[in-house]
Amino acid sequence: MARIIKETVRGLDLVELEDELLQNREIFLTETVDANTTNELIKQLMYLEMQDDEAEITLYINSPGGEVTSGLAVYDYMTMMKAPIRTVSIGTAASMGAILFLAGDKRQMLPHTRIMIHDPSYSNANMSGKKSHEIQHELDKLNETREITAKIIAEKTGKSLEEVYKVTADDTYYNAEEAVEFGLATEIINAKELRKRGTRK
């Protein structure tokens, strides 16, 4: 972990950069979405809401996506929080990373960032040895997950499910302007605005 030198009442101290950003109510998702990364995110969100349930929390996202179940756990928690959430795409918010981006009350993108949405895919491609009803069961679960994520996109963008299914059938990338037009993002900001609008304690 990166460390910075900070002046405290004890003099100059080495502090973790992540701890300093956490005190400023800024957290990050810059890895694959899985049980470990989402557990850390939920703990950070819990901590920040305990500290102040009215001050804005900023979640910066640059993630290729990952596990749907883990990601939806964070999405559900974020949407139940009293504290306002600002999500900021700082690279590419793809797949489940895009769904978590949509959890923000404000959804901001830097000018050259991207969002990618698509239908969930089956993570275990080995179907050998499975009976037809077992394969159908897996397909039913996959279609159920597809409907869940499509409903989230539709709710946040104001699009119909049919419109969402049309664009999620393939990997569909949106630049910042396209994301705002489609309703995925609420605005585009530049680097100066990014820091200016961050919550300060």
Annotated active-site residue 137? The verdict is: no
Q: Measured between alpha carbons, how far is 74 from 60 in angstroms, rounded to an integer? A: 14
Distance separating alpha carbons of residues 164 and 201, to the nearest angstrom: 39
Catalytic annotation present for 95: yes
* pTM of the shown model: 0.86
Determine phi and psi for 26, rounding to 5 degrees: -120, 125
Q: What is the pLDDT of residues 116-126, one digit of tens each?
A: 999 998 665 56
| Structure token digits, residue 41 | 């995110």
Q: Name the CATH superfamily, with its identifier, for domain 24-120+130-197.
A: 2-enoyl-CoA Hydratase; Chain A, domain 1 (3.90.226.10)
- Four-CA torsion 48, 54, 60, 65, nearest 10 degrees: 80
Does the pLDDT value for residue 4 go beyond 50?
no
Integer distance in angstroms from the first to the last C-alpha of the chain?
23
pLDDT at 199: 45
Q: Out of 70, 118, 123, 137, pick the active-site residue.
A: 118
Report the C-alpha dihedral over residues 151, 169, 167, 119, rounded to 10 degrees. Answer: 40
H or E element, residue 178: helix 176-182
Is the pLDDT confidence value at 103 over 50? Answer: yes
Span 14-19, average pLDDT: 63
151-184: pLDDT as tens digits: 999 999 999 999 999 999 999 999 999 999 999 9
Dihedrals φ, ψ of 82, to 5°?
Answer: -80, -40
Percent residues over pLDDT 90 in the chain: 71
Average pLDDT score, the chain: 88
Q: What is the pLDDT of residue 9?
A: 58
For the chain, what percentages of helix, strand and coil (3-state, to nearest 5) are there?
A: 45, 25, 30
Catalytic residue among 63, 70, 89, 95: 95
Map out the domains of the chain as residue ranges. Answer: 24-120+130-197
Q: How many angstroms separate the CA atoms of 39 and 173, rounded? A: 28
Higher pLDDT, 191 or 128: 191
Q: Give the pLDDT confidence of 139-149 residue by residue, as tens digits.
A: 888 899 999 99
Question: Which has more pLDDT, 193 or 54?
Answer: 54
Q: In the prediction, which pLDDT does 149 show?
A: 97
